[in-house]
Amino acid sequence: MHSSTTPPTIGVLALQGAFDAHAKALTSLGATVRLVRNPEDLADLDGLIMPGGESTTMLKFLERGSFFDTLATFVKEKPTFGTCAGAILLATHVEHPAQRSLCALDITVERNAYGRQNDSTILDVQTEIPGGPLEMVYIRAPRITRTGANVETLANRDGFATLVRQGHLLAATFHPELSADTRVHQLFLDMVAQQPR
Ligand code: GLN
């Protein structure tokens, strides 16, 4: 367990996408933030957030050198939160179209599942997190079409899981960093605090 006096150091994958808003949310909750641009930046982190953006573009950066393999090892052991494109990277199965992933979180994800008409929206959704409905910002969002037996669903959108947890892994198909509400980031920091350092 963490000592309450030492803030955890959380990495934010900063190859592309919405990393800055995640860094601000984490800092506001007292965490120390390190932007992760190289595999070496993962060393000694207490946890990692993989932001939204374009998962195909992130994959291109990750497939240079040893970054993909180092990250795949990291996410097997250390608390990691994937939002939107980051959730796609964490999944065991990616469809529409299929693409390579870190195969850590036992879900099937359908990319860009809401089509062009309805691809971005803001909803207030009831979740398992106390404190009332949560604002969820969706941008060209994926849909979780299958959750494995060890995956806990913390919120649904239209009957599909939209916030899920499996042990030390958390994933959201929306962008919690774009809302003022920091409950999802706090949930992740609570998961980090439960890990042995
Ligand atoms: N459509 C993006 C992808 O497939 C994800 C969108 C997002 O992260 N907001 O990677």
**Residues involved in catalysis:** 84, 175, 177
What is the reported pLDDT for 115? 77
The structure tokens listed for 176 are 């919690």
Residue 134: pLDDT over 90 = yes
Q: What pLDDT shows up at residue 91?
A: 98
pLDDT of residue 4: 57
Tell me if 54 CB under 6 Å of ligand 1: yes
**Over the stretch 40-68, which tens digit does the pLDDT of each residue have?**
999 999 999 999 999 999 999 999 999 99
Q: How far is ligand 1, taken at its centre, from the CA of residue 55, in Å?
A: 6
Q: What is the mean pLDDT of the chain?
A: 95
Q: Is the CB of 85 under 6 A from ligand 1?
A: yes
> How confident is the model at residue 119, as a pLDDT?
79
Task: Please determine, for residue 2, whether its predicted confidence score (pLDDT) is greater than 70.
Answer: no
Query: Mean per-residue pLDDT for 137-151?
Result: 97
Q: What residue's CA is closest to ligand 1, atom 5? A: 85
Model pLDDT for residues 14-48, shown as the tens digit of each residue? 999 989 999 999 999 999 999 999 999 999 999 99
Per-residue H/E/C for the chain? CCCCCCCCEEEEECCCCCHHHHHHHHHHCCCEEEEECCHHHHCCCCEEEECCCCHHHHHHHHCCCCHHHHHHHHHHHCCEEEECHHHHHHEEEEECCCCCCCCCEEEEEECCCCCCCCCEEEEEECECCCCCCEEEEEECCCEEEEECCCCEEEEEECCEEEEEEECCEEEECCCHHHCCCCHHHHHHHHHHHCCCC
Residue type for position 197: R
Q: Is the pLDDT of residue 1 over 60?
A: no
Predicted confidence (pLDDT) at residue 197 exceeds the cutoff of 80: no
pLDDT 10s digits, 92-120? 999 999 999 999 999 999 999 987 766 79
Residue 176: partners with Cβ closer than 8 Å, 6 or more residues away: 25, 83, 134, 136, 137, 182, 184, 185
Task: Give residue 45's pLDDT.
Answer: 98
- Give the mean pLDDT of 130-139: 97
What's the confidence (pLDDT) of residue 37? 97
At residue 117, the pLDDT reads 63
Reported pTM: 0.96
The verdict on the CB of residue 112 being under 6 Å from ligand 1 is yes
Domains and CATH numbers, the chain: 9-193 (3.40.50.880)
Q: What is the pLDDT of residue 114?
A: 85
Mutation test residue for ligand 1: of 15, 50, 58, 139, the one with most atoms within 8 Å of CB = 139
Is the distance from the beta carbon of residue 83 to the nearest atom of ligand 1 less than 6 Å? no
pLDDT at 16: 93
pLDDT of residue 141 exceeding 90: yes
